[in-house]
Amino acid sequence: MTTSLLLDGRADEKARYLRELRRELSVLPSGRRRDVLRDVTDHLDDATPEDPRPFKEILGAPELIARTAIRDHDLHAPRSLRPGYAMVSKRLQLLAGILYCPPAVYGLVMLALDGRDWFLWDHLRFLLQLVPALLFLPLPLLARWKRWYLISVLCWGGYVAYLVAQLVVNQMAVTNLLAAELWFVPTSMVWISHAPVIVLLTLALLGAPTVLRHHRNLR
């Protein structure tokens, strides 16, 4: 009974370790990630029966293994690593960008088809309100690994600050200022997409691999 409980605990610890490692290695290209995961799994299968030490003590923290892999990549590649789309956080950022597109495209098409002169304040306002998203959504997708987290936080902050500014301007009805009206009075098409975009960008930051969040502290 005790032996069985110990084995169950060991299996849980192994599953937990591999889950963490998979998350940390998701930054890497698929071939390297697959190789390392397979080798570490083999190592754990080998070590389990005879070594009672915690897996993090035997193999090292998952973020340390990922950090070594990224450094090794950077030493032998012409450019620093750009996190891959196997990383859940990056998929969420991509999804946020994709979700933003339909209302924006729909709004642009409707403006083009509404039969009025092209250059109207409504049009300008709509276009200006696309700018923050066009700036903040693609940047984290292009960032290299060392700056990915910082850029993601800054873009998230910029996006949230812009939405807060919109709310404040609307609450205070500061629409007598042309600039405030142009930038901050929301057009309905754009406003629809903000909520899911913010949720996805927040989840992307919360679920980011430790190796990207604390890479300066890892040796």
Partner 1 sequence: MGDEEDRILTNLRKGVLEFCVLSALTTGPGYGRNLAQALGERGLLASEGTLYPLLSRLRDAGLVDTELTDPADGRQRRYYSLTTAGHARLAAFRAAWAPFRDTVDDFLETP
Binding site for partner 1 (CB under 8 A): 31-32, 35-36, 38-40, 42-43, 45-47, 58-62, 64-65, 68-69, 71-73, 75-76, 219
Of 72 and 114, the one with the shorter C-beta distance to partner 1 is: 72
Of 16 and 38, the one with the shorter C-beta distance to partner 1 is: 38
Of 30 and 175, the one with the shorter C-beta distance to partner 1 is: 30
Of 12 and 45, the one with the shorter C-beta distance to partner 1 is: 45
How wide is the angle at C-alpha 152 spanned by C-alphas 148 and 158, nearest 5°?
A: 145
What's the closest the beta carbon of residue 160 comes to partner 1, in angstroms?
A: 36
What's the closest the beta carbon of residue 129 comes to partner 1, in angstroms?
A: 45
What's the closest the beta carbon of residue 216 comes to partner 1, in angstroms?
A: 13
The gap between the terminal CA atoms of the chain, to the nearest Å, is 41
**Structure tokens given for 33:** 């990630």
Of 36 and 141, the one with the shorter C-beta distance to partner 1 is: 36
What's the closest the beta carbon of residue 59 comes to partner 1, in angstroms?
A: 3
What's the closest the beta carbon of residue 207 comes to partner 1, in angstroms?
A: 22
The dihedral over CA atoms of 137, 143, 147, 149, expressed in degrees to the nearest 10, equals 40
Of 11 and 199, the one with the shorter C-beta distance to partner 1 is: 11
**SS3 sequence, the chain?**
CHHHHHHHHHHHHHHHHHHHHHHHHCCCCHHHHHHHHHHHHHHHHHHCCCCCCCHHHHHCCHHHHHHHHHHHHHHHCCCCCCCCCCCHHHHHHHHHHHHHHHHHHHHHHHHHHCCCCCCCHHHHHHHHHHHHHHHHCCHHHHCCHHHHHHHHHHHHHHHHHHHHHHHHHHHHCCCCCHHHHHHHCCCHHHHHHHHHHHHHHHHHHHCCCHHHHCHHHCC
What's the closest the beta carbon of residue 210 comes to partner 1, in angstroms?
A: 15
